[in-house]
Structure 1
Amino acid sequence: MEIRLLGPVEVVAGPRRVPAGRRQLRVMLAVLAAAAPRPVPVPVLIDRVWGEHPPAGVRQAVWTRVAGIRKVLAEGAGEPVPVVSWQPGGYVLRVDPDRVDLHRFRRLTAAARRPGCPDPERVTLLAAALDLWRGTPLAGLGGEWVARQRDSWQLERLDAAVAWARAAVRVGRHAAVAPVARDLLEDHPHSEPLATALVRALAADHRTGEALAECRAACERVRRDLGVPPGRELLSLRQALLGGEPLPVPPAAAGPVVVPAQLPADVAGFAGRRPELARLDALLDGAAGVIAVSGTAGVGKTALTAHWAHRVRGRFPDGQLYLNLRGFDPGGPSMEPAEASGLVLDGLGVPAGRIPAGPDARAALYRSLLAGRRVLVVLDNARDAAQVRPLLPGAPGSLVLVSSRTTLTGLVAANGAHLLALDPLPPAEARQLLAARLGRTRVAAEPAAVTGIVTACAGLPLALVIAAARALTRPRLRLDVLAGELLDARSRLAVLSGDDPGTDLGTVLSWSYAALSPPARRLFRLLGPVPGPDLTPAAAASLAGTPVHRIEPLLTELTRANVFAEPVPGRYRCHELLRSYAVAVGSGAPDPTARA
């Protein structure tokens, strides 16, 4: 039995097609098949099938559609058939990935992109992958998820077609390239890699006039529709054709393709964050180009991005790049864009002598190298949007995953980034994290103490792992004693200290504090001893002895830095560990009279 998504959704059992049911059932089957073998949580299923306005009784509708899918799949009785089953993470379609055309397509394209794959084999693999397409993917279906997937998968097809065309020209099969490339250019008229592949194929087939006409047309489309000059390869092809010179060597043939694998090690004992992981999965499935993960210091941004990057690295066969941009780091100034561009070019295999000196030229070469490739770029600890922007690809296909203590509003507004804001862990997930570090037996033996530790750590993952490390290095320490030390506000930060700046909570919080403007730092210091869970702009203005119209920009600065949170409009708060830090820095601040 096969499940086909690269065209109308179909279930094929041997020589016959099994009716796949009505629209919603076909959409749900497509959601499960595209995610397989990962489970799909019920809320995600509801969102992808019904969108923002699901009907009343939608969970019953989910069960009905799942039953319908099971009935459709049972039509393939007599051979191993896919099954839909429930597990704690949601519904999962248990199927051999090669029985879903989407996954078979991705396996073939990944095999073709492996380093050292000879061109004849690459042509055969990519041709087999492209033959799986039967038209518009998910044809006949509608909805936001379907539209996102359709666009994303068509870009994957475009990438595969470009790679096939380039390899086919190199092995002398150039005559087959022109009709395929021209057909795809109707749907992707601004794809310069596809246009250059077509021009090279026509020139290799001694159709120089057609090649020059296609080259001129491609340059004109880019200038007219996008308002930018054509890329270097397209311009160099036009110049060579006009001068009757040999065409320049294409980038893919200039040397071995470097596939970087720079991700840091996955996080040991990672726990929780299921909704956030599901959200990241949904953004990836929806062809997001930039995802910005923000949150306060110690909330687990780096851990989440590293863990998820390892989960999805198979979706990026052209490699994974990683940079710590040192936006909040005591080891020195934050990384400048020119330095960052040089490091990513080095990771992509550009020799040191060929890396341009200027930052603009470096960014342009970086975008050229990523065009037509699927690369995951993880940028950790970003300072602001300006630091990230030169590292954004110029063409779809790759994904940039950014983490920052600040809310990168500029990336959202100007670059279409999708924002994922991390909150502290809820109590249940905080207990899971402690159990993963200390062992379930020790956690179960002192449930009240564990509750105290979770409360004192305010659900902050960094604080929880520091507390767990303290308990692990002192195996005779009872957890209720540790909880008592943590619940005492006077000793809390001392208990959560360490000999490594990265695992000393006070030091980590100080990096966020140091990045604030002096007026915002003063307001933060004054906040420490204030009773109550939150405060209004009027209360903050009264506290600081400052007019409200001057206090509001400071509250905005503290919120963007994720030092304050605004859970409801007009009310600001920060968690207890930040309050403890505010008291600590306030006691040594230069304005004790104002504080009093």
Structure 2
Amino acid sequence: MPELRFTVLGPLRAWREGRELRFNRARDRAVLAVLLAAAGRPVPVGEIVDGVWGEEGDEAPDRVGALPGHVYRLRKALDGPAAERSGASVLRHEGKGYRLDVDPEAVDRTAFLAGIAEAATARRNWQPERARSLLSDALALWTGRALDDVPGPFAAHERRLLDGRREEALRHRRDLDLELSGSTGPAPGARAVRRPFQLPPDLAEFAGRQTQLAEIAEVLTGPPGATAPLIRVTGPAGTGKSALAVHAAHRAETAYPDGQLYADLRGVGPEAVPGILAAFVRALGVEESAVPSDPADRRALFHRLLAGRRVLVVLDGAPAVEPVRPLLPTAPGCAALVTLAESNEPGAGPDGGHTVRLGRLSPADALFLLYRLLGPARAAREPHSARALAAACDYLPGPLCRAADLLLRRPSWSISALVPPVLGRQRCGG
């Protein structure tokens, strides 16, 4: 099997045993782009046709019939003379589709996505230097605009996806630059207190929730009180608690110049709290060897590090407030924003915390969110179907985002095709 290597983070290019291959026809490159995204797995003919031609109508009346010609030219370019003689092609007809039998690791897309995933893990483990190095290596793979010379709806979708991940990686690296360069004076047990910026990226497609955002902003950006305020965000699954908390925290960023600490508590129990507290202390600049082993001492150090500072702590998916109380700041000037399940915190509680409850979006806000997710042009072509889809999703942000993602991955699908029976039967609940 010939050694092949591919790049899609720029113009689509390929090399066989160090020699660059040529794909002169744009449609050939479009077919190759679809197959590369599923490298090593068969892709149905219909999916290839949708990704290359989309909804072209009479302009391409026999798209299925045209596909074998594109596959023939790609096979000839990819295999080389040795493979032609042996009959062992890397591009094979399999079932009702085609399979490009190459290692996904031979595509720069794989290395890029793996690199930013490893960087995210390093950030969660409070290894900012390693995270920044991984992001820099991943970003160095780019040579231009993704799939710059490839036509078709699949390439357009893949381009948006990859460009979005690149922008996200750039933002994360800028945050890490600030975290690693910023210090604001010594504290007990620390070299220098760092300014951690650990929030997940904000959502560009956020919509609605203006009343709740105003409630949170009033608490977070008001004058400091005698203690750190606590804001609970509650609501059923699918109401967008995490998105609201992260969006509100980004909006309040200037009010907390000493940083933001973040922990994803979904799926973890109270036994994880000491480890998260140790991670918070390390994020604030304490050497690993200086982190106290006793949980009470660790908590005391955490509060000493926050004294006199303005730091926002965001805890996402907590089971309740009490199990995570060691992670909550108490110093004036700091604040905590915690997302909880609907039933866990029925009232404000004895600590005087402020509770923000989420339910469905209004029909107008749900439709606006769908327009932002799909793009105004696509949603405007089917306004009635867009409204039906918003209703089928019960006007909940989570199901709407999942439905929009499915449509974006299938550019040829109409919105109306998704409502019955895929969503209409299940009410898109979550």
Distance 1:399 1:344, change over 3 A: same
Aligned residue for 1:448? 384
Aligned residue for 2:303? 367
Aligned residue for 1:28? none
Aligned residue for 1:430? 366
Aligned residue for 1:467? 403
Cα separation, 1, equivalents of 2:353 and 2:299: 19
Aligned residue for 2:182? 115
Secondary structure of 2:368's match?
helix
Aligned residue among 273, 288, 291 for 1:337: 273
Aligned residue for 2:321? 385
8 Å CA contact 1:450, 1:483 repeated in 2: no
Secondary structure of 1:292's match?
strand
2:203 maps to 1:267: yes
Give how far 1:366 is off. 0.8
Give how far 1:252 is off. 7.2
Give how far 1:429 is off. 0.6
Equivalent AA in structure 1 for residue 360 of structure 2: P
- What is the percentage of aligned positions where both structures have the same residue? 40
Give how far 1:358 is off. 1.9
Cα separation, 1, equivalents of 2:271 and 2:399: 27
Secondary structure of 1:413's match?
coil
Cα separation, 1, equivalents of 2:415 and 2:190: 61
- Please report the RMSD computed on the Cα atoms of aligned residues, expressed in angstroms: 2.5
Cα separation, 2, equivalents of 1:344 and 1:252: 15
Equivalent AA in structure 2 for residue 377 of structure 1: V
8 Å CA contact 2:277, 2:327 repeated in 1: yes
Aligned residue among 216, 229, 236 for 1:280: 216
Distance 1:355 1:365, change over 3 A: same
Aligned residue among 354, 358, 371 for 1:418: 354
Cα separation, 1, equivalents of 2:414 and 2:183: 56
Quick check: which one's helix share is greater?
A: 1
Aligned residue for 2:238? 298
Aligned residue for 1:319? 259
More contact order relative to length (CA 8 Å, sep ≥ 6) = 2
Give how far 1:466 is off. 0.8
8 Å CA contact 2:309, 2:333 repeated in 1: yes
8 Å CA contact 2:230, 2:354 repeated in 1: yes
Distance 1:455 1:253, change over 3 A: closer
Give how far 1:394 is off. 2.7
Distance 1:297 1:254, change over 3 A: closer
Distance 1:254 1:423, change over 3 A: closer
Distance 1:251 1:285, change over 3 A: closer
Cα separation, 1, equivalents of 2:283 and 2:189: 18
Q: List per-residue Cα deviations over 1:193-216 (Å, max 9, x = no partner).
A: xxxxxxxxxxxxxxxxxxxxxxxx
8 Å CA contact 2:183, 2:194 repeated in 1: no
Distance 1:358 1:252, change over 3 A: closer
Give how far 1:380 is off. 0.7
Cα separation, 2, equivalents of 1:429 and 1:468: 15
8 Å CA contact 2:189, 2:290 repeated in 1: no
Give how far 1:484 is off. 2.0
8 Å CA contact 2:195, 2:259 repeated in 1: yes
Cα separation, 1, equivalents of 2:183 and 2:273: 32
Secondary structure of 2:237's match?
coil
Q: TM-score, normalised by structure 2?
A: 0.53
Secondary structure of 2:349's match?
helix
Cα separation, 1, equivalents of 2:271 and 2:353: 21
Distance 1:361 1:412, change over 3 A: farther
Give how far 1:323 is off. 0.6
Aligned residue among 248, 254, 268 for 1:308: 248
Secondary structure of 1:317's match?
coil
Cα separation, 2, equivalents of 1:447 and 1:416: 45
1:120-519 map, 5 Å: 251=187, 255-286=191-222, 287=224, 289-326=229-266, 329=267, 333=269, 336-409=272-345, 412-486=348-422, 488-489=424-425, 492=426
8 Å CA contact 2:231, 2:336 repeated in 1: yes
Equivalent AA in structure 2 for residue 471 of structure 1: L
Cα separation, 1, equivalents of 2:206 and 2:409: 20
8 Å CA contact 2:188, 2:304 repeated in 1: no
Distance 1:366 1:410, change over 3 A: farther
Equivalent AA in structure 1 for residue 330 of structure 2: G
Distance 1:313 1:411, change over 3 A: farther
Cα separation, 1, equivalents of 2:279 and 2:320: 19
Distance 1:275 1:465, change over 3 A: same
Which consecutive residues of structure 1, in runs of 5 or more, have no partner in the other structure? 1-113, 120-249, 497-576, 579-596
Give how far 1:255 is off. 3.0
Give how far 1:337 is off. 2.0
Distance 1:485 1:417, change over 3 A: same
Distance 1:312 1:427, change over 3 A: same
Cα separation, 2, equivalents of 1:475 and 1:488: 20
8 Å CA contact 2:315, 2:337 repeated in 1: yes
- The worse-fitting range, judged by mean Cα deviation, of 473-482 and 456-465 is 473-482
Which consecutive residues of structure 2, in runs of 5 or more, have no partner in the other structure? 1-180
Cα separation, 2, equivalents of 1:260 and 1:411: 31
8 Å CA contact 2:234, 2:339 repeated in 1: yes
Equivalent AA in structure 1 for residue 419 of structure 2: A
Q: TM-score, normalised by structure 1?
A: 0.39
Distance 1:343 1:410, change over 3 A: farther
Cα separation, 2, equivalents of 1:459 and 1:388: 31
Equivalent AA in structure 1 for residue 351 of structure 2: N
Equivalent AA in structure 2 for residue 450 of structure 1: A
Distance 1:410 1:373, change over 3 A: farther
Aligned residue for 2:137? none
Distance 1:350 1:414, change over 3 A: farther
Secondary structure of 1:374's match?
coil
Cα separation, 1, equivalents of 2:335 and 2:302: 14
Equivalent AA in structure 1 for residue 295 of structure 2: P
Give how far 1:428 is off. 0.6
Secondary structure of 2:200's match?
coil
Secondary structure of 2:329's match?
coil
8 Å CA contact 1:325, 1:335 repeated in 2: no
Q: List per-residue Cα deviations over 1:381-435 (Å, max 9, x = no partner).
A: 1011222211122321101111111455388323221000111211111111111
Distance 1:295 1:321, change over 3 A: same
Secondary structure of 1:271's match?
coil
Aligned residue for 2:50? none
Aligned residue for 2:178? none
